[in-house]
Amino acid sequence: MPHLVTLIPGDGIGPEVAGAVVHVLQAAAVPIQWERVELNAAIIAQAGESVPLDILESLRRTRIGLKGPVTTPVAGGFQSVNVTLRKQLDLYANVRPVRSLPGLKTRYQDVPVDLVIFRENTEDLYAGLEHEVVPDVVTSLKVITRKASGRIARYAFEYARRAGRKKITAIHKANIMKLGDGLFLRCCREVTQQYPEVEYRELIVDNAALQLVLRPEQFDALLMPNLYGDIISDLAAGLVGGLGIVPGANIGEDCAVFEAVHGSAPDIAGKGVANPTALLSSAVLMLFHLGEHEAARRIQKAVESVYAEGKPLPRDVGGTASTREFTQAVIDRLQ
Q: Which of 173, 181, 200, 228 is catalytic?
A: 173
Residues 6+ apart with CB under 8 A from 145: 123, 183
Q: Which of 54, 105, 166, 206 is catalytic?
A: 206
Quick note: the x/- pattern for ligand ATP over 229-268, rule CB under 6 A, is: --------------xx-----------------xxxx-xx
Is 126 catalytic? The answer is yes
Considering only residues 42 to 81 of the shown chain, the ones binding ligand ATP according to CB under 6 A are 69, 72
Q: Note whether 192 binds ligand ATP by CB under 6 A.
A: no
Q: Give, in order, the Cα–Cα distances in Å from 256 to each of 29, 57, 92, 174, 259.
A: 22, 14, 10, 30, 10
Q: Are 80 and 127 in contact (CB under 8 A)?
A: no
Minimum separation from the CB atom of position 294 to ligand ATP (A): 26
Among 274, 283, 285, 306, binds ligand ATP (CB under 6 A): 274
Q: Note whether 316 binds ligand ATP by CB under 6 A.
A: yes
Q: Note whether 227 binds ligand ATP by CB under 6 A.
A: no
d(CA 255, CA 207): 34
Pairing of strands 3-8, 32-36: parallel
3-class DSSP assignment, residue 160: helix
Other C-beta atoms closer than 10 Å to the C-beta of 96 total: 24
Q: Note whether 96 binds ligand ATP by CB under 6 A.
A: no
d(CA 261, CA 226): 13
Q: Which of 67, 87, 124, 126 is catalytic?
A: 126
Is 181 catalytic? The answer is no
Closest CB to ligand ATP: residue number: 263
HSE-up of residue 305 (Cα within 13 Å, Cβ side) = 15
CB nearer ligand ATP, residue 18 or residue 265: 265
Considering only residues 22 to 41 of the shown chain, the ones binding ligand ATP according to CB under 6 A are none
CB nearer ligand ATP, residue 47 or residue 243: 243
Q: Note whether 278 binds ligand ATP by CB under 6 A.
A: yes
d(CA 167, CA 157): 9
Q: Give, in order, the Cα–Cα distances in Å from 204 to each of 37, 200, 290.
A: 41, 14, 36
Residues that bind ligand ATP (CB under 6 A): 13, 17, 69, 72, 243-244, 262-265, 267-268, 274-275, 278, 316
Catalytic residues: 126, 173, 206, 230
